[in-house]
């Protein structure tokens, strides 16, 4: 499958590629969540829901592997570094009671994936304690066991968990395509720069394309 992308065409084989959807969690995206409680404009993230639904549906329809991630911690917080707990000096932090249960704690409503993009039973869900999806998880083992070499990456936020994961993946030898309109940030300028950093210098971390181009390639492949 050939996808029109920047800085140049991205080639991937559906048998060796996975769609990796990063942290589309209720606490980050929903108006009643933790992100909104901190004063963030969740509409900047919510605009990614519709294109992600379309891409997820097409990718599933083509029989491609889908992997979801969620940022969060064990209920006893033993995997939460003290530095992450106190960073920001906020009055409410990870593990405290939030609008949708304890903030970024596994099993809480706000930690779960939004219903619009809910994983199907056989789709792996990676619970990650860090920003990158490879840190302290079995993602690399799962990808290796499935013979995956290319990742089509979407989710939130562009400059934090999406960028960190793409950089980690790049260092582990994966080719990554970041789907621009399927990623979002509370800060539009960080989103733009986050995408530019990936594709700069001949694709130093990977490729960038709009979902329309991925959908077109999937359709051409099926024809
Ligand atoms: C993610 C964050 N998912 N911004 N987390 O990007 O803290």
Neighbouring CB atoms inside 10 A of 28's CB total 27
Say if ligand 1 is within 6 A of residue 113 CB: no
pLDDT over 90 (residue 89):
no
User: Pick the residue with more confidence: 89 or 35?
Assistant: 35
pLDDT given at position 90: 83
Rounded percentage of the chain residues whose pLDDT exceeds 70? 100
Say if ligand 1 is within 6 A of residue 160 CB: yes
pLDDT given at position 88: 87
Q: What is the C-alpha separation between 113 and 50, in angstroms, rounded?
A: 15
CB 129 within 8 A of CB 73: yes
Return the SS3 of 220: helix
Which residue do the tokens 């219903």 mark? Answer: 115
Kindly state the average pLDDT of the residues 54-62.
Answer: 98
Q: Pocket of ligand 1, candidates 127, 157, 167, 191: which has the most ligand atoms within 8 Å of its Cβ, to mutate?
A: 157
Atom of ligand 1 nearest to the CA of 164: 6
CB 168 within 8 A of CB 151: no
Q: What is the C-alpha separation between 176 and 113, in angstroms, rounded?
A: 22
**Separation of CA 223 and ligand 1 centre (Å):** 38
Assess whether 23 carries a catalytic annotation. Answer: yes
**Separation of CA 145 and ligand 1 centre (Å):** 27
Q: What is the C-alpha separation between 36 and 43, in angstroms, rounded?
A: 10
pLDDT over 90 (residue 125):
yes
**Separation of CA 131 and ligand 1 centre (Å):** 6
Assess whether 84 carries a catalytic annotation. Answer: no
Would you report the helix, strand and coil content of the chain in percent, each value rounded to 5?
40, 25, 40
Which stretch of 22-26, 84-88, 127-131, 192-196 has the lowest confidence by average pLDDT? 84-88
Q: State the number of CA atoms in the 13 A half-sphere of 76 facing the CB.
A: 1
CB 22 within 8 A of CB 162: yes
Kindly state the average pLDDT of the residues 35-53.
Answer: 97
């Amino acid at each position: 499958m050939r996808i029109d992308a920047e800085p140049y065409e991205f080639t991937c084989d559906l048998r060796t590629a996975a769609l990796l959807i990063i942290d589309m969690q209720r606490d980050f995206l929903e108006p009643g969540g933790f992100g909104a409680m901190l004063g963030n404009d969740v509409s900047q993230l919510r605009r990614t829901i519709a294109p992600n639904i379309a891409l997820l549906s097409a990718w599933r329809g083509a029989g491609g592997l889908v992997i979801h991630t969620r940022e969060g911690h064990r209920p006893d917080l033993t995997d939460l570094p003290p530095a992450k707990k106190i960073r920001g000096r906020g009055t409410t932090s990870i593990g405290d009671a939030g609008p949708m249960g304890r903030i970024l704690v596994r099993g809480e409503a706000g930690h779960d994936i939004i219903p619009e993009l809910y994983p199907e039973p056989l789709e792996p869900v990676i619970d990650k304690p860090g920003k990158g999806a490879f840190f302290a998880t079995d993602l690399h083992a799962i990808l290796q066991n499935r013979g995956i070499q290319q990742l089509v990456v979407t989710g939130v936020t562009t400059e934090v968990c999406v960028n960190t994961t793409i950089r980690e993946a790049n260092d582990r030898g994966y080719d990554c395509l970041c789907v621009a309109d399927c990623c979002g940030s509370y800060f539009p300028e960080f989103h733009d720069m986050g995408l530019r950093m990936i594709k700069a210098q001949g694709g130093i971390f990977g490729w960038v394309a709009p979902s329309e181009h991925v959908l077109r390639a999937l359709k051409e492949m099926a024809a």
